Amino acid sequence: MPIEIRMPALSPTMTEGNLARWLKQEGDTVSAGDVIAEIETDKATMEIEAVEEGRLGKILIADGTEGVAVNTPIALLLEEGEDAAALAGVQSGATGGKAAPPAAEAPAPSAATPTAAMTTPAAAAAATPAVAQAGNGADRGGRIFASPLARRMAEQAGIDLGRLQGSGPHGRIIKVDIERAIREGMAAKAAPAVAPAPAAARSETPAARAPGPMPAALPPAAAYTEQPLSNMRKVIARRLTEAKQTIPHFYLSMDCELDALLKLRSELNARGGADYKLSVNDFVIKAAALALRKVPKANASFGGDRIYLYHDVDIGVAVAIPDGLVTPVIRQADQKGLATISNEMRDLSARARDPGGMKLKPEEYQGGSLSVSNLGMYGVRDFQAVINPPQASILAVGAGEQRPVIKEGAVASATVMTATLSIDHRVVDGALGAQLLQAFKGYIEDPLAMLL
């Protein structure tokens, strides 16, 4: 029987995507690991790989089809020895309209109907064993060859990629290898302290629930132009609505004096031979990271019946792009120098805003301990940002402006910036949030402490 190829879930929050184009056509030979199609997700256009070999017998979802639900069959793969007669009776799902939504849980495949769905582990039955004594997913230099999706799945499940044997081309670790490792219990053995919450607990978090329909306004009576929502805008609308409805936000604000920071920034940028150009936002990122390291209980997220305390401090930074907003992440920002943060942020922002489409990889914009949203460059004095789940806090940074302050009993002038911290009250209480914001203010007003 033909093997089904299904719409994959390319991120933890993906429920549907657009099938941008097929890179293989009906009749083409397909090998495991071949890139066969491009999928537009809520954040980027990504390639999907085949996990079985055979011949592409029938394309069920045509190029350009929008809103294809995760786990929907998109093509049929003929195994060795099968011909077109095996496709008899197969109904095409490519009508150019909305794809049928998947069942709540995909049925288990039987021996009579093999399934190589990219979002299910069935294809692993035909793959080589995933666990090896030496783990040939790594070359002699210790570098591990794995697809981005496999790396993300392994990180979420707490699996050491070095212990896996890849079944993809040249021993590359792919999705089915991770699924097999999870079934064989490797996830349970690895890092139980940060193991994911049980299904009952995960279902309580906004990111885990199936999204409901968004309320729609009636068309206006006045003249208007209709603009369909992009995938990214749909996800932004859904996730931020869920965030405000399900996360008990509270807000703390502090004024931070910037004069010492601006002086240090000018001196560092004026150094001869400098290969960097520091911005105020680079200092903000570093200060936020050091504050989280100083107040580790705030470096956490809500997990239903538990709280996850992160070991690393990863700071997301909101970047405006034509279709909406993306939040690239500076990993282990507390351990990096200002020049490194500045150069990384410049590279991530440039690739996020690439005229040809966003070039960030999923692992570059997913996760993070806390996000920074800076609207100071637009002259915004202060604002309250919406938490980006599963994070538990977001720092809204306003413009630095000259304001009167009292120093030693006299009125003086200082450059002051207002920072507002939005916090998930399920994770962080008022006193702890105040400690975090106070630590941030301390680093901003004594910037030399960031260099120690």
Count of C-beta atoms within a 10 Å radius of residue 124: 24
Helix crossing, 259-269 with 280-294: angle to 10°? 120
- Tell the residue number behind the tokens 């064993």, with chain if given: 129
Phi, psi of 117 (to 5 degrees): -60, 135
Structural domains of the chain sorted by starting position, each given as residue range(s) with its CATH number in brackets: 1-123 (2.40.50.100), 127-196 (no CATH), 232-451 (3.30.559.10)
Tell me the angle at which helices 280-294 and 430-445 cross, rounded to the nearest 10 degrees: 130
Instruction: Encode 34-67: b = buried (16+ Cβ within 10 Å), e = exposed.
Output: bebbbbbbbbbbbebbbbbbbbbbbbbbeeebbb
Measured distance CA(119)–CA(117) in Å, rounded: 5
> Tens-of-pLDDT digits for all 452 residues of the chain?
778 888 888 776 678 888 888 998 888 888 888 888 888 776 677 778 888 888 888 899 998 888 888 889 998 888 777 777 777 755 444 433 333 333 333 343 333 333 333 433 333 333 333 333 344 555 444 567 777 677 877 877 788 888 888 887 667 788 888 888 887 776 544 444 444 444 333 334 434 444 444 556 678 888 989 888 887 888 888 888 999 999 999 999 999 999 999 999 999 999 988 889 999 999 999 999 999 999 999 999 999 999 999 999 999 999 999 878 899 999 999 999 999 999 999 999 999 998 877 888 888 998 899 999 999 999 999 999 999 988 999 999 999 999 999 998 999 999 999 999 999 999 999 999 999 999 999 999 999 999 98
As a whole number of angstroms, the distance between CA 1 and CA 61 comes to 19
**Exposure letters 391-400 (e unless 16+ CB within 10 A, then b):** bbbbbbbbbb
Q: Nearest 10 degrees: CA dihedral of 44, 45, 46, 47?
A: 180
Q: Dump the DSSP string for 240-270.
A: HHHHHHHS-EEEEEEEEE-HHHHHHHHHHHT
For the chain, the residue count is 452
Cα radius of gyration (the chain): 25
State the Cα–Cα distance between residues 118 and 73, nearest whole angstrom: 10
**Which segments within 380-448 are labelled E, that is strand?**
393-397, 401-407, 410-424
* pLDDT recorded at residue 149: 74
Residue labelled with tokens 């193991």: 195
Amino acid, res. 134: A
Q: How far is CA 256 from CA 387, 397, 402, in A?
A: 22, 10, 12
Active site residues: 425
Give the global pTM. 0.61
- Lookup: tokens for 189: 């053995």
d(CA 292, CA 298): 6
**Mind giving me the DSSP string for 184-231?**
TTHHHHS-GGGPPPPHHHHTTSTTTSPP-PPP-PPPPSS-----PPPH
- What is the rounded distance in angstroms from the CA atom of residue 323 to the CA atom of residue 320? 8
What is the spatial distance between Cα 270 and Cα 39, in angstroms, rounded to a whole number? 45
379: amino acid identity, one letter = G
